[in-house]
């Protein structure tokens, strides 16, 4: 899928994770599934997460963007926001995802924007709006994550990044 773009994080957040020896851009990438689907996270903070995904390769038999692909993009973006809200002492685990699909898309790139609806001590809920290249809403989603305390032995996931080629 080409080389992953550098994600934009607030410097304070980067510094907090660097102090723990954690590569923040690698930790908050799209993960293995998102990488296979071409998800790229462009901007990430607890207040707003933006990412894109190609329609090509993520379609259902009628040639339309698969609803499950929209769900992957939504959960990825909402989870990143929840993890950044929770900080280094918490782990975000998705507990509820719902998606309403408004229109079909056959080609191009879709963009998702996740913004918080609720950010508490034990849960975080994000609304994710997915739009086509003309800015038309394709999907509205909501993700709620449980924020549990990180336990000794919880390791950040190992992320392999795609390379150009």
Is 43 a residue of the active site? no
- Give CA separation, 143 vs 18, 39, 51, 64, 77, in Å: 28, 17, 15, 23, 9
The DSSP code for 54 is: E
Cα distance between residue 107 and residue 13, in whole Å? 35
Report how far residue 44's alpha carbon sits from residue 80's, in angstroms, rounded to the nearest whole number: 7
Beta-bridge partner residues of 112: 51, 130
Q: How many CA atoms lie within 13 A of 44 on its CB side?
A: 28
Q: Which of 75, 127, 133, 155 is catalytic?
A: 75
Strand (E) or helix (H) holding 56 = none
Name the residues annotated as catalytic: 75
């Amino acid at each position: 899928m080409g080389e992953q773009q550098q994600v934009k994080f607030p410097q304070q957040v980067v510094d907090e994770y660097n102090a723990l020896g954690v590569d923040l851009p690698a930790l908050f990438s799209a993960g293995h599934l998102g990488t296979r689907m071409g998800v790229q996270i462009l901007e990430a903070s607890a207040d707003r997460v933006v990412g894109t995904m190609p329609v090509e390769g993520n379609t259902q038999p009628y040639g339309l963007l698969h609803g499950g692909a929209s769900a992957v993009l939504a959960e990825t973006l909402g989870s990143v926001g929840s993890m950044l809200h929770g900080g280094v002492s918490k782990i975000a685990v998705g507990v509820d995802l719902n998606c309403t699909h408004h229109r079909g898309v056959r080609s191009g790139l879709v963009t998702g924007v996740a913004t918080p609806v609720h950010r508490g001590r034990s849960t975080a809920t994000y609304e994710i709006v997915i739009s086509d290249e003309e800015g038309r809403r394709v999907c509205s989603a909501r993700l709620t994550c449980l924020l549990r305390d990180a336990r000794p032995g919880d390791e950040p996931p190992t992320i392999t990044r795609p390379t150009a080629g």
